[in-house]
Amino acid sequence: MSPRALWQEAKRLLEGAHGGDEVVRQVVVEDIAQRQGDPMLYRAVIQPDATPPAYALADAFDLYEREKIDESQGRGPRNRLARVRKQTEEALGKLSKLPIENLRRQHAKKLLDHLQYSKTSTGNPLSAETVRRELNAVRAIVELSLVEFDLVGTVANPFRKLEVKTSGSAPTVDHNARLPLIAKVRERLSLSKRPELLLIWRLLEGTGCRPSEISGLRLEDLKIDHDTPHIHVTWHEDRRIKTKASHLLTPLAGDALEAEQEAVRLAEG
């Protein structure tokens, strides 16, 4: 916890004490002293009206998590925030010990350098777009804290307008980056007792369609004998897509075409 969070926790310890605040405070203080507790907690209890500690960068991250992370979106946003927090702490040290009012441009550049030298799980450098996205997240976190902690006009956000340098050549795309996951899914589905699952996956790979658009296909939606073999994704009672008027013609080639032909054979009768 940051010093500010410890201070606020001490305040909560004393909430609800009526007619005996000094007695309660003395008991709590003695207990903290005996346990050799945090000095900031001790000071907050013994001097509750003293000026509280400055907000730290850790408080900014905690605030953003409370205010901006939507539980309905699953674990993704929270995991991304945890990753950004970890990267920031690796670059700048303990966030609980870094007051927001002490943030300077050198902190922003230090984080930028750290991200540009970081590696992905496959050992590749982070892409410029990933670095830019992580920096934008920290900028938004600090921006929110300046507003909510009444620091606008007092503290400048050093993470604004950071330039992420890229090489002069066009960015390269690693088309094999996700292949290990695809291979694992194929391997897992190949062991299934339901052959249609692997066929659905092969068609998802080869067409980019949504799962429901493939799993809801009817024989009449398959145009294999056409000059350009394709599938016709359309609305029907057994599988409803976004709107009744939605139509999508998706060409089939290679493994996707072979998977569709196998599906037709399995559907005989």
Look at residue 14 in the predicted model and tell me its pLDDT: 67
CA distance 230 to 241: 18
- Residue range 107-113: average pLDDT? 94
Instruction: Answer left, alpha or beta for residue 19, where phi above 0 means left and psi between -120 and 50 means alpha.
Output: left
Among 148, 57, 152, residue whose Cα is nearest residue 110:
57
- Cα distances (angstroms) measured from residue 10 to each of 38, 49, 248: 11, 12, 61
Among 101-110, 115-124, 172-181, 196-205, the range with the most confident prediction by mean pLDDT is 101-110
Q: Is the pLDDT of residue 232 over 50?
A: yes
Q: What is the mean pLDDT of the chain?
A: 83
Q: Count of alpha carbons within 13 Å of 258, Cβ hemisphere only?
A: 5
Pick the range with the lowest mean pLDDT from 22-31, 95-104, 201-210.
Answer: 22-31
Give the pLDDT score at 170.
45
Average pLDDT over residues 73-96: 91
Listed residue (131, 34, 72) closest to 139, CA to CA: 131
Which pLDDT value is given to residue 246? 59
pLDDT digits (tens, 9 = 90+) for 170-190: 455 555 555 678 888 888 888
Residue with tokens 């699952």: 197
Q: What is the Cα–Cα distance from 180 to 201, expressed in whole angstroms? A: 15
In this prediction, residues 243-257 reach a mean pLDDT of 78
Average pLDDT over residues 41-51: 75
Tally the residues of the chain: 269
pLDDT band per the 50, 70, 90 thresholds, residue 158: very high
